[in-house]
Amino acid sequence: MGEPLKLNTILRTAVGAGLILPALALIAFGPDTSREVPPDRVVVTYWEKWTDFEGTAMRRLCDVFNDTAGAELGIYVDYVLTTQIDLKSLVAACGGDPPDLNGLWTFNVSSYAAKGALQPLDERAAEAGITPEVILPVYYNQGVYHDQLYSVPLTPWSIALYYNKDIFAEFADELAAAGYSADRAPRTMDEFADYCRIVHRRNDKNDIELHGFVLGVPENIGWYWYAWGTWFGATWSDPETGLMKIDSAEQIRAYEWLQEFVRMFGQRDMIRLESSLANFNSPDNPFMTGRLAMMQQGPWFPNMIRQYAPEINYGAAPFPTHDGSEISYCGQDVLVIPSGARHPDEAWAFIDWLYNSPPINVPSGAAEPQFGYEYCIIETNEGPQQRPMPPLRPLEWLCWNHYKNSPYIEPADDFTRTHPNPVVEVHDQLARSPLAMTEPPIPNWMELRGEFEATYRDIWAGRAEAAPCLRAAQKRIDALTKLAADRMARYGEEYP
């Protein structure tokens, strides 16, 4: 106090000013949004979950719209990346702050629609020609809840078996001895188990060095972990009542099979192998490092292989099933317009453009070539060849860039011919299978799936036996179902 200036004081003042002045400057002059939105346009806020190459493609598509049709119509689509979008969107809807356009997963639709969070799209869709005559039924029907259409397909997919051909070739003799050919993937679950037994190698310390297949926790293997039962002919709901059912004979068989499979190779070893997956979209995925021969994956997978392990010689096939029939599990990313959206007409104008714009030739030079905007690499008889990307309808342009199959019954010729995903036909074929499975339209599917997931984790980790565990979970699900049905009954609505 009252002393002459001390070094300490000067220093502190300097640091203090060094913190506070930039802070004030930032408040006064800093950015108040991450994007520049042109004035005098109606801004359609579009929430989407994609990052990485998928996000880049969708952003690019929004740019194209904003530069062309959007400029004419006076609409600007503002792409906003949103993680945990299924959660955030409902919270925003409850808070009266929803976006105009929302990119959800198809399995969110029934939950949202039942809560009254979505606008029905039937009339608009019929006018725009988005009908079951044009769209593959498996994808169209996923948007329907209580006979109304609430979502339109954006990028569809189906789950297939990806396998490393070189690893199969390495075990060709052993496979042949068991009566299999290294040139093809297993078709039934019995064959699948045989393949896994054969394609297996341990080092001197008895650690697994190479392995056939591993399932695992959702964070690592993907959100569609519950597809497992489908390969055994199971559904997630009782076909008669439409209520969620996970303790059917088929489901129990599927998960008992899984437990048996895991125990055959050792629970501990399997968990260790699986934890090294550390998310399938990662260079550490043992499939990428050549330590895992088979995975259950969607059409995006070849793009990851291309990035992380381009040397892998892989193929795709329908996932093996209990009886060898071509069962498939399909899903998609969809677009919805939330109730309470401020600009539903403008949001729809964007959807309409996606479906009905003439093929677009995307301006070159703006995007990174590794995402395939300007050219594509096509497997030909003379090996991989670089080709220019053809003009496509915006929707198919997006699917193309996402490496995904088309939602159309009749995809454009160019789409199929030039598609960058060498195994896209497999996914397309699976989407057309009469046994294509999708999540049932259950109003509280997300809540019930949570129970299923907790059970699945226990089963996978061997903490409980599959059958009693599933039955116990079914009891919890029944209780939650009853509560949900009561809740809907109070509004005079029927469950499911």
Partner 1 sequence: MIKRGPTSGHSAHDLLTGLAWISPWLVGFAAFMFLPICISAYLAFCQFNGLRAPVFTGLENVRTLFTDPTFWKVLKNTSIYAAFALPLGTLLALALAVLLNMRVPGRTLWRAIIFVPTLVPLVAVAMIWMWIFNGRYGLINMCLGAVGIEGPNWLGDANWTMPAMILLSFWTVGHAVVIYLAGLQDVPRALYEAAHVDGATAWQRLRFVTVPMISPSIFFNVVIGIIFVWQVFAVPQIMIPNGGPGRNAYFYTMYVYDVAFEHQRFGYACILSWVQLFIILALTALAFRLSKRLVFYRGAVT
Partner 2 sequence: MMDSPLLRYVGLVVLVILCAVFVSPLLWMLSTSLKPQEEIKTSGFAALPDNPSRTLQYAYENYYAGRDKFVDDRGIERTGYEGVLTSDNVHFILYLRNTLIVAVFSVAGVVFASAICAYGFAKVAWPGRDPVFAVVLATMMIPFPAVMIPTYFIFKFLGWIGTLAPLWVPACFGTAFNIFLLRQFFMQIPGDLSEAARIDGLNHWGIFWRIVLPLSRPALAVVALFHTMYVWNDYIGPLIYLNHQDTFTLALGLQFYQAQHGGTPWNLLMAACTLITAPLLILFVMSQRTFIEGITTTGMKG
Binding residues for partner 1, rule: CB under 8 A, are 87, 90-91, 93-95, 115-117, 217, 271, 275-276, 339, 444, 446-447, 450, 453-454, 457-458, 461, 463, 476, 479, 483, 486-487, 490-491
CA distance 475 to 247: 10
Fill in the amino acid letter for 439: E
Nearer to partner 2, 82 or 235 (CB): 82
SS3 content of the chain, % helix, strand, coil (to 5): 45, 15, 40
Q: Which residues in this chain contact partner 2 in the complex, by CB under 8 A? A: 12, 15-16, 19, 23, 26-27, 30-34, 45, 49-52, 55, 80-84, 88, 91-92, 94-97, 279, 281-284, 289, 307-311, 370
Nearer to partner 2, 7 or 27 (CB): 27
Nearer to partner 1, 29 or 491 (CB): 491
* Segment holding 93, helix H or strand E: helix 85-94
205, 210, 216, 220 alpha-carbon torsion, rounded to 10°: 110
50 binds, among partner 2, partner 1, none (CB under 5 to 8 A by kind): partner 2
Q: What angle do CA 396, 397, 398 make, to 5 degrees?
A: 85
CA distance 232 to 21: 65
Nearer to partner 1, 178 or 479 (CB): 479
12 binds, among partner 2, partner 1, none (CB under 5 to 8 A by kind): partner 2
179 binds, among partner 1, partner 2, none (CB under 5 to 8 A by kind): none
Spatial CA neighbour of 329 closest among 477, 205, 226:
226
CA distance 79 to 81: 6
260 binds, among partner 2, partner 1, none (CB under 5 to 8 A by kind): none
476 binds, among partner 2, partner 1, none (CB under 5 to 8 A by kind): partner 1
Nearer to partner 2, 87 or 176 (CB): 87
Q: What angle do CA 231, 166, 420 make, to 5 degrees?
A: 70
Please answer whether residues 331 and 136 qualify as being in contact, where contact means their C-beta atoms are separated by less than 8 angstroms. Answer: no
Reported as half-sphere exposure (CB side, CA atoms, 13 A), residue 235 has a value of 16
30 binds, among partner 2, partner 1, none (CB under 5 to 8 A by kind): partner 2
Nearer to partner 2, 92 or 254 (CB): 92
CA distance 237 to 227: 13
Closest contact distance (angstroms) between CB of 22 and partner 2 is 10
Closest contact distance (angstroms) between CB of 432 and partner 2 is 28
Q: Treating both helix axes as pointing N-terminal to C-terminal, what angle do 249-265 and 445-460 enclose, rounded to 10 degrees?
A: 30
Spatial CA neighbour of 467 closest among 251, 186, 161, 283:
251
435 binds, among partner 1, partner 2, none (CB under 5 to 8 A by kind): none
Closest contact distance (angstroms) between CB of 72 and partner 1 is 35
Closest contact distance (angstroms) between CB of 10 and partner 1 is 21
Please answer whether residues 285 and 278 qualify as being in contact, where contact means their C-beta atoms are separated by less than 8 angstroms. Answer: yes
Closest contact distance (angstroms) between CB of 476 and partner 2 is 24
Closest contact distance (angstroms) between CB of 82 and partner 2 is 7
